[in-house]
Chains A and B, each alone.
Chain A
Amino acid sequence: MLLTGAEIIMECLLREGVEVMFGYPGGAILPTYDAMTKYPQLHHVLVRHEQGAAHMADGYARATGRVGVAIATSGPGATNLVTGIATAMMDSSPIVCITGQVTRGAIGSDAFQETDVTGVTLPITKHNYLVDDVADLAYIIREAFHIARTGRPGPVLIDVPKDVQNAQTEFIYPEGEIRLPGYRPPTQASQDEVSAALDLINSAQRPIILAGHGIMMADAMAELRELAERAQIPVSLTLLGKGAIPENHPLVTRMMGMHGEAASNYAIQEADLIIALGMRFDDRVTGNIKTYAPNARKIHVDIDASELNKNVKVDVGIAGDVKTVLRQFLPGVKAAQHPQWIARIRDWQEDSSERDVLQVGAESKLLSAQVINDLWHFTEGNAVTITDVGQHQMVEAQYYPHQRPSTLITSGGLGTMGFGLPAAIGAKFGKPDEEVWAIVGDGGFQMTLCELATAVQENVNINIAIINNAFLGMVRQWQEFFYEERYHATPMISPDFCKLAEAYGIPSMRVTSREQVEESVKFARSINGPKLIEYVVEKEEIVYPMVPAGADLHNMIRRPKPGEEVKS
């Protein structure tokens, strides 16, 4: 069958199981947009800025585990994708971006809307392609999806010159094995590695598991739980690891790191064994690397061999699929109890709950922790939440416990403000039957608020919760702690968010007191389509605890207990 390059793109997307594409047309991608008219089963979502398309593809991918697709034109269309691609790269999210390029003959001539997109995206993609011949296109698309979703997932970009989209060739879909000699993701541990790890696990007195995003990407939740329960090993979670095990599980110490639970951080520092599974010892997780977990032997399992011994030197480093490796471990894991160790963690948790802002904060003002904890309560802890970046993100991590995998979608590695709203739109396309809440700050929301129009045009049933403190709150917090309260460039004047919503035709509600939070959830649930709720909260809240950047993990700034002196 003789097809154009543009039609081949559509045929291949169909065969990859794609159901929705997020994109924005333009000159160099127009043949592909024209071909879309022949493929109505591939739904195209018109975004308002290409960054939104990449974040939507990312949100879709994280919600479903399937590959998200973003499409943009050459030049500015493609460069606008860059932040979204870098976000997906840092958080190992499988997306495929298809960009138009100027015709082959014009490449290198500084043609209108020409950018060296494969050059620009080389360091922020898992792999990328510039298609030189229409006969290669089907192979490349198939490879791209394979690379994006296997091993350590990540973004792949395919740059397709306009004349390649127009060129015709005999379309034969490449069936059979994909031949990529330099691409062999590791699978399992060697027998030596398994026994070395088991020796450490079975002899540990104060073990702790650090569970990351990889647990969910490898679908290893059951194996993780089995390991933790059988050997009674406490489990601490990375931000992206939330959902790897139900957070109300008695062995779970919840989040670790800069704004993690004090109990997690103290436990890591006192542990005699760390079992790190599908996580990468990010600096936000370790604090000062020189004093990190000084008493612990370390086992590290990750699908990416280059992560082993990168930040933290480990005793047993295993490059492999964490589900496969845990299944290799489990037959040799002996049942154990660590009553003293677990009691010690309980004491830290007791101390934390005495400091909890929900206990302490009997103030008249509405606090973001109250809002988010009430949202958790009234959504039965069952929503898919997508956050932006900043204080509200950390408050979500602390006050919205997640019971199911892939129900928190957040930009962890890159910390991309503006991620929340578009990622929520993408997530809702992936999980249409779930209740989706975008929890965003007033700062990040304004970076991508143009996607409100996308939500309206597609009637995406999402709840947009703006936690408005009239500050770039996290930066303000740093200024308070480390820059002597010089609040420069952090106070924010925002539009009237409810009027803004009205302009888009979006129903809205403003919440200024705690009593209204329950009502706001009822309001949100009463409307099918996007709706916006502004929660006007205390301006100068602080997210506790906090490990200052580069400080020792156990040297946290804690919220004072009632009656304690406030640190000046």
Chain B
Amino acid sequence: MSEQSSEKFTIAALVENKPGVLNRVASLFRRRNFNMDSLTVGRTHRPFVSRMTIVVDGARTDARRIAANLYKLVNVIDVKVVSQEPHVSRDLALIKVRSDDADSRNALTLLCERYPARIVDIGAKYAIVEITAPEDVVEAMIRELDPIGIVEMVRTGVVAMGRGTRILDTEYVPQLTNSKNGNHQAYSV
């Protein structure tokens, strides 16, 4: 099974963990008229580095052009189009579904056996289903949950990582200044 439908590209970017970097990336996509499917950002094991995963519609924009533009941003340390090579990608969704009768609860239990999903909260009226899977698998489960009655949903957007020895990392340690309270720290701009 392919990790993603073919016209979508997944780009991973290592960025400096400074305020405003997300804004710079979002602004770039807006002003270059690049179409963004999803963007996630989170910390890495390195304190000064965050990682973004951006899914773009490759039919509308050349992924290499987006990568070249991202790389131009001073705060972007490295960029890789991870979907060009073998990779793992995951999207997480929390889906609140009707569970106020036996049929719906049975249907949910069966679905959670067939999908990498579980029921993380259940009440008299509604249950919350959590699924962590490639994006198209999440989409498939949502389609199956729909007839039961979805009342609320939240998704993280895709995160992705190259398989095997394909490592996107940096040795980056920022310039440390003799900043606040005499402590050496990375300056925050």
Contact = CB atoms under 8 A, between A and B. Distances in A.
Interface of B (DSSP majority class): mixed
22 contacts: A118-B20, A122-B23, A123-B31, A126-B74, A130-B20, A130-B189, A133-B187, A135-B179, A136-B188, A140-B189, A180-B74, A181-B170, A181-B172, A182-B16, A182-B73, A182-B74, A182-B75, A182-B78, A304-B72, A306-B72, A309-B64, A310-B65
A121 to B, nearest CB: 11
Interface string A308-325: 111000000000000000
A136 B68 contact: no
Contacts of B73: 182
A181 B186 CA distance: 13
A89 to B, nearest CB: 11
Interface string A118-156: 110011001101111101100110000001000000000
Interface in B45-77: 62, 64-65, 68-69, 71-77
Contacts of B172: 181
A305 B68 CA distance: 6
B188 to A, nearest CB: 5
A172 B20 CA distance: 27
Contacts of B77: 181-182
B27 A131 contact: no
Contacts of B27: 122-123
B175 interface: yes
A179 interface: yes
A300 to B, nearest CB: 13
A179 B174 contact: yes
Q: Which of B15, B31, B65 has most chain A Cβ within 10 Å?
A: B65
Contacts of B179: 133, 135-136
Interface string A167-184: 001101010000111110
A131 B20 CA distance: 13
B114 interface: no
Nearest to B28: A123
B5 interface: no
Interface size class of A (residues with CB under 8 A): 20 to 34
Given A122-B24, A122-B27, A135-B178, A183 B187 contact: no
Contacts of B74: 126-127, 147, 180, 182-183
Contact of B175 (A118, A139, A147): A139
A181 B68 CA distance: 16
A309 B174 contact: no
Interface in B20-52: 20, 23-24, 27, 31
Kindly name the residue among B24, B76, B170, B187 whose own CB sees the greatest number of chain A CB atoms within 10 A.
B187
Given A130-B189, A136-B187, A179 B175 contact: yes
B177 interface: yes
Given A181-B77, A182-B76, A182-B77, A306 B65 contact: yes
B75 A131 contact: no
B188 A132 contact: yes
Contacts of B71: 182, 305-306
A101 B73 CA distance: 24
Contacts of A181: 16, 77, 170, 172, 174
Contacts of B72: 304-306
A132 B24 contact: no
A183 B71 CA distance: 8
